[in-house]
Chain A
Amino acid sequence: MESLMIVLVGILVTVATYLILSRSVIRVIVGTAILSHAVHLLLLTVGGLKKGSVPLLGQAAAPFTDALPQALILTAIVISFAVTAFLLVLAYRMYLMNGTDDLEELGGSSDE
């Protein structure tokens, strides 16, 4: 199961890299969103996909599942959600002001 997950992470990173390297800002932003999904899966996988019981006091049978990766992922999801939302608004404002969403044209030059 773990190897399958790692392959999936690899595919997601490939897709995200392709999107990030494109010229349109929106594609780049979608790329970063996919990138964050990839790392969430990675966190889940390296934490170990155990089938233990619920990690609650009073629940008898050990071994317990490690609950920490899920807590980490939850935090990371919230953060990436906020950043993506901000990035989308920023990209829209930038498009209105600069009149283009082509990163090639947004390079800027040194004599401005």
Chain B
Amino acid sequence: MNNIIVLPLIVPIITATLLVFLNNNIKLQRIVSLITMIFVACISVVLLQLIQTEGILRLDFSGWMPPFGILFVADSFSVLLVLTASIVTAVCLIYAFSTIGERHEKMYFYPFVLFLIAGVNGSFLTGDIFNLFVCFEVMLLASYVLIALGGGKMQLRESIKYVLINVVASWMFLVALAYLYGTLKTLNMAHIAQRVAEAGQDPLLTVVSLTFLVVFGLKAGLLLFFWLPGSYSVPPTAVQALFAALLTKVGMYALFRTFMLMFPLQPEITHTIIGVMAGATIIAGCMGAFAGRDVRTIATYNVIISVGFILVALAVGTEDAMAGAVYYLVHDMLGKALLFLLIGTMILVTGEVVVKNMNGLIRIYPLFGWIFFIMMCALVGIPPLSGFIGKVLIGQGAIETESYVLLALAFGSSIIVMYSLLRIFLASFFGETSINEEDKMPIPRGAMASFIILAIFIIGLGVGAEGLAVYVNDAAYTLSNPSVYIDAILNTNK
């Protein structure tokens, strides 16, 4: 029995429901939510080991054999993302303990974080495309609440835009599903892939796949990112970090599954369009990061640049690029969470958002400053930190397929990332300090602990990339050979 696959979805939901009733006991809420996330992380490590020995795992709910029932599928790609998402959530929770404030904690903050992670894990693990829609909605509803929680003037204003855009995007998702069901009469991802391979990907199916591209592009912030900078800068820091680390990644995961597994047969159309969109996303993100004056804007445009960067790998589509994309997705979840936590803390201690108005922070908070430096190097891709290996592999893939324009854009963007973050580092951390030693605001210990944990993971991922290679290569192999996935699901004799 593979019942263990469903635990990353079901455990957060059960504990979140319980926590709703323990609303007044804040201490208990903190402990239970943290333990839940650590438990889910441990489960995913076990799953990852299990996949190496037994191949792709699947769980058919109530015994309906595929392709008829809904099922969960665990392969290395999805479980690596589940593991990283759980770690990042646990760290963001640790940060939230000391910063989010009692008002949020009493307004069901922890249950909604757990619902969010349940939706995220469900999206990673499901093997049925309608179930993917449902998990998306679970995640989005929790994110709607988290973004509006607190009820500030700007917050409500931005959250209504965020919700409306996502409602329309979800509608597009349903339209795409309707067309898909109308043409292929199946919703099981492996079965879709099989039928597309058998029947050939005719123009009608390509149009359906492009509808999915628009939907997931909106969710991932691929070119259609106009909603992202506004809505990512209003909620509290811990929520911002969660959103930056998780939400766009789920959209990207769905894009990889759609175009590597289900509709891989017309790359000259679909993958070219993705390549153009990725390139445009990188350019637009770089312009935003250049022009930004306040730290939040710079950070949100850095999210957009990385979306473009990872989807360059999808446009390239070789096995090397896939391995790079998996490495980079894991790295980017950790790196972006740390970036947003650090930026949020800078705003908290100085009370300023504009880069120029902060200065000399490293003199008062030395460790904080050096962690910012490590994070910056990692995001830029300096070895031996975590961003390096992903960038090298994606670049290698781009050279193999001779996509030199994308290669230039992708690596050019690293310099812009470097510039935008170095500007913050030079202006805000160096120079004369305007804060006295006496009236400095101490950084809460919990927050400091969360930075250190993330920094350790970033260094660990860079130095220990070799140790992770087994899992990443397995994930890349499954992604670039869809038949492995299809056989594991539809070959029921096993």
Contact = CB atoms under 8 A, between A and B. Distances in A.
A40 B146 CA distance: 28
B164 A32 contact: yes
Contact of B178 (A25, A35, A46, A79): A46
Contact of A39 (B156, B175, B230): B175
A75 B182 contact: no
B130 A90 contact: no
B177 A25 contact: no
Contacts of B161: 106
B151 A97 contact: yes
A79 B177 CA distance: 15
Contacts of A20: 168
A75 B160 contact: no
A79 B134 contact: yes
Nearest to A87: B163
A112 B154 CA distance: 9
B413 interface: no
A24 interface: no
B365 interface: no
Interface string B316-334: 0000000000000000000
B60 interface: no
Interface residues of A, number: 31
A106 B157 CA distance: 7
Nearest to B292: A110
A70 interface: no
Interface in B92-130: 130
Nearest to B153: A97
Contacts of B152: 97
B159 interface: yes
Nearest to B152: A97
Interface residues on B, range: 20 to 34
Interface string B132-159: 0010010001001100100111101111
A95 to B, nearest CB: 9
Contact of B181 (A36, A69, A91, A108): A69
Contacts of A25: 160
Contact of A83 (B167, B181, B182): B167
A32 B175 contact: no
Interface in A25-78: 25, 28, 32, 35-36, 39, 42-43, 46-47, 66, 68-69, 72, 75-76
A20 B161 CA distance: 12
Given A43-B181, A72-B130, A75-B134, A86 B175 contact: no
B141 A90 contact: no
Contact of A98 (B153, B163, B175): B153
B181 A46 contact: yes
Interface in B51-106: none
B135 to A, nearest CB: 11
Contacts of A28: 164
B253 interface: no
Contact of B156 (A47, A79, A97): A97
Contacts of A7: none
A84 B122 CA distance: 23
Given A32-B171, A39-B174, A66-B185, 10 more contacts: A35-B168, A39-B178, A43-B174, A43-B178, A47-B182, A72-B177, A87-B160, A90-B148, A97-B151, A108-B157
Interface of B: 130, 134, 137, 141, 144-145, 148, 151-154, 156-161, 163-164, 167-168, 170-171, 174-175, 177-179, 181-182, 185, 187, 230
21 contacts: A20-B168, A32-B168, A35-B168, A39-B175, A42-B174, A42-B178, A43-B174, A47-B181, A68-B187, A72-B130, A79-B137, A83-B167, A86-B144, A90-B148, A90-B156, A94-B156, A94-B157, A97-B156, A97-B157, A98-B157, A106-B160
